Structure 1
Amino acid sequence: MEKIKVLLIDDDEDDFIITKDIFSQIPSIKNYELSWANSFEKGINAVLKQQHDIYLVDYRLGKNTGIDLLNEAVLSGIKEPIIILTGKGDYDIDQQALNFGAADYLVKDQINAQLLDRTLRYALKQAEATKALKESEFKFRVIFEKTKEPILISDFNGKIYEMNKAGLSFFGFHPNDLNTVTDRQLFKNSEDRDNFIQQLETKGAVSNFECEMISSSGQTYFCTLSSFLQIDPQNIMSIYHTIIHDLTPRKYKENNSINQSKLSVSAHIAKAFAEEIRDPLSTINFVIEELNTDKNLAYNETVQTNLDIIKTNCDNINQLIKQVIVSTENKPLSFEKANIKELIEDALNQVNDLILGQRISVDKDILNADLEILADEYQLKKALQNILVNAIENMHDFPKTIHITTIKDSGFYSILIEDNGTGLGKNYNDNILEPFFSTKKNGNGLALTEAQKIVMNHNGIIEIKPQDAGNLVIVKLPIAY
């Protein structure tokens, strides 16, 4: 067993001799090695060199005090325990020593071998435990700061004590914002927060709690929460440690897979139905041609008018069949890096005549960042044009406005196109993107179906959210890094 190196810092040689004598009376004296520094300067230099395991420091050191030495040692990061020695029992000095970080204090007149041995051993064990605790805290602090998943520390009332860097980035906060934000504001639905807290308080821990959370910019995330409750013994209150798992990308993939399946089935049915219509339609067109060449009917204005009407409607049906068949085709896409802002501007230019003709005001708030995506420019511009045309056709009353804004969040570039036209109403929220669904009297539902297919082929997602007046279409596209 290595000897415990003890340094006595005392400017009185008599005190050193007395202390040495007390050490000699300790049964386990062979475990100790006592050294002496006879001034404040020598003492602090020895402490800073960290060549001893523990220090006994006299309170009076010439013009300085043992508290001065203790304070300087603590500020220098010294971890070894320091015990203050006082000439008499002085409660204020004792408290001052402990407040400044002393491991303990001893009254010189009361020191004996047994008390000194026990004090030294206790201080060393306490220092070892404190060191292990700080190392553990450091490890967890590193994990807390470096982990890529948001971590939140809060309480029952919603007060946020701390949020790691990943959490601040996820929710779009600055550390100073945490003083004015509560964890309730992070939940999109307040009922989710109430249920989460209820489960946590009842069980003490929660795993995979599903909810929607919202960032400071209004971005919605589908998340699961894993949390445990810890009782703070000082304040006697519950502290929640919560890890937030962002499942939004996985949710997008699941939704895209479902929508792709719907499109595939609907396209197969639509194509088969269109092909079935072609044969009887061809027969009708053939009969019309025969009737047009019948000399007996050539001068019958009523018959000719009706034949023209039938012919026009047959042509319309034939055109619709072609559109249906084209919409079901999966054309190969040619992906290249494309500037998103330029794509939006090009799509607007393509429908500019409609915008001017309908006297529509277009407000734009497009990010100036030079962001790129992997895209088939022709196809993606077509999708945006379809969405813009659909918005234009929804507006009937003046003033007519279209707002286009963009957001960069969580690896996605979101394009928000909002009109103030005829709203879909919440009843249509679930089926508006169903293939070939339309609320327009003469609509075929193909424009948004085609736009949805193009966006999904770009690993993106399209959402339609009915507003109080008009509709909001959100196109989310992954950013190319």
Structure 2
Amino acid sequence: MKTLTVRTKARSLAGYDSYINLANHLISTNRKSHPTPPAPKKVMDYPVQFLTAMAHELRNPLTNINLSVGMIESVTKNDDLKVYLDIIMRSSIRINDLITELLNYQQEENMPAAQYSVHQLLDEVLETAGDRITLKHIEVIKHYAIQDCKIKMNRLRMKIALTNIIINAIEAMTSGKGILKLTTKSVYGKYFIQIEDNGCGISKENMKNIFKPYFTNKQGGLGIGLSTTYEILESDHVEIDVKSKEGEGTRFSLLFDKNYQYGVFE
């Protein structure tokens, strides 16, 4: 079976076993020859007043959820039930945090990029997705470079991009059999991040559409996660390579240009 990629013709996985080969492939690819999917409409295209009103409305049911969970916790002695109540509470807190981030998005967008640790950012994303990883009994394998790298970035935007990739990987894997691999490397003065899963993979037909806004084959999906990721990475000059095999898994490779990163180890 041929390997599928959104940026090159189908080819075998063996050609990419070397990080050097992949770096050469990403560097040499003429990005102008590949059509860029239309970027999703940015959050701040909507009136700030509308976002504020929606945030208020969303927080009302969240308050009810938190109060209900607290009431159940106060009367139950079932430890197994308390585990799931804790997950509900953490998820509620996460939604509230996301609402706050949404309201602060314009301010974050206008802030200059700063240096952040790649490994710390990946660990933050894993923590955000921690409950999903636990519930699906997914094994996480981290192959981090010995020395960390600090890349000049907008932390919030990059965290959104990486979170979307990792959440998609989690959702694609079978409960109890999933393996999520995170790899970081230094290649030719550039910094390389690889996110790989052993999930269901992506079909050839769907591969060409994964970055298009509102495209999804998941029940209840909105189709904006990967399109947002693409818009963020492209605007930050991050090279993207995706390859997948149906029934075997998917691998996202990101290459950060040296002109946009600092503190890269040799």
TM-score, L = length of structure 2: 0.60
Matches of 2:168 and 2:223 in 1, distance apart? 10
Match of 1:170 in 2: none
Please tell me the residue identity of whatever aligns with 2:22: T
Three-state SS of the structure 1 residue aligned to 2:168 is: helix
Please tell me the residue identity of whatever aligns with 1:355: I
Against the structure 1 CA distance between its residues 361 and 408, is the aligned structure 2 distance closer, same or farther, given a 3 Å change threshold? same
Against the structure 1 CA distance between its residues 250 and 411, is the aligned structure 2 distance closer, same or farther, given a 3 Å change threshold? farther
Please tell me the residue identity of whatever aligns with 1:263: P
Aligned mate of 2:229, from 451, 464, 475: 451
The structure with more radius of gyration:
1
Match of 2:213 in 1: 435
Three-state SS of the structure 1 residue aligned to 2:142 is: strand
Per-residue deviation, residues 1-60 of structure 1 (Å, max 9, x unmatched) = xxxxxxxxxxxxxxxxxxxxxxxxxxxxxxxxxxxxxxxxxxxxxxxxxxxxxxxxxxxx
Matches of 2:182 and 2:16 in 1, distance apart? 21
Aligned mate of 1:471, from 247, 250, 266: 250
Match of 2:95 in 1: none
Matches of 2:33 and 2:167 in 1, distance apart? 25
Please tell me the residue identity of whatever aligns with 1:393: E
> 2:210 touches 2:227 (CA, 8 Å); kept in 1?
no
| Equivalences for residues 139-150 of structure 1 within 5 A | none
Three-state SS of the structure 1 residue aligned to 2:38 is: helix
Against the structure 1 CA distance between its residues 214 and 475, is the aligned structure 2 distance closer, same or farther, given a 3 Å change threshold? closer
Match of 1:396 in 2: 174
Matches of 1:451 and 1:343 in 2, distance apart? 15
Question: Offset of 1:218 from its aligned partner?
Answer: 5.3
Question: Offset of 1:248 from its aligned partner?
Answer: 2.1
Matches of 2:114 and 2:153 in 1, distance apart? 5
Against the structure 1 CA distance between its residues 358 and 250, is the aligned structure 2 distance closer, same or farther, given a 3 Å change threshold? closer
Matched, 1:339 2:117: yes
Aligned mate of 2:21, from 219, 222, 230: 219
The count of aligned residue pairs is 192
Please tell me the residue identity of whatever aligns with 1:354: R
Matched, 1:386 2:164: yes
| Equivalences for residues 14-25 of structure 1 within 5 A | none
Per-residue deviation, residues 172-224 of structure 1 (Å, max 9, x unmatched) = xxxxxxxxxxxxxxxx99xxxxxxxxxxxxxxxxxxxxxxx87844533667x
> 1:413 touches 1:477 (CA, 8 Å); kept in 2?
yes
| Equivalences for residues 98-137 of structure 1 within 5 A | none
Question: Offset of 1:435 from its aligned partner?
Answer: 2.2
> 2:193 touches 2:253 (CA, 8 Å); kept in 1?
yes
Question: Offset of 1:434 from its aligned partner?
Answer: 1.9
Please tell me the residue identity of whatever aligns with 2:30: K
Say which structure, 1 or 2, has more relative contact order (CA 8 Å, 6+ apart). 2
TM-score, L = length of structure 1: 0.35
Greater strand proportion: 1
Matches of 2:165 and 2:131 in 1, distance apart? 15
Matches of 2:244 and 2:148 in 1, distance apart? 31
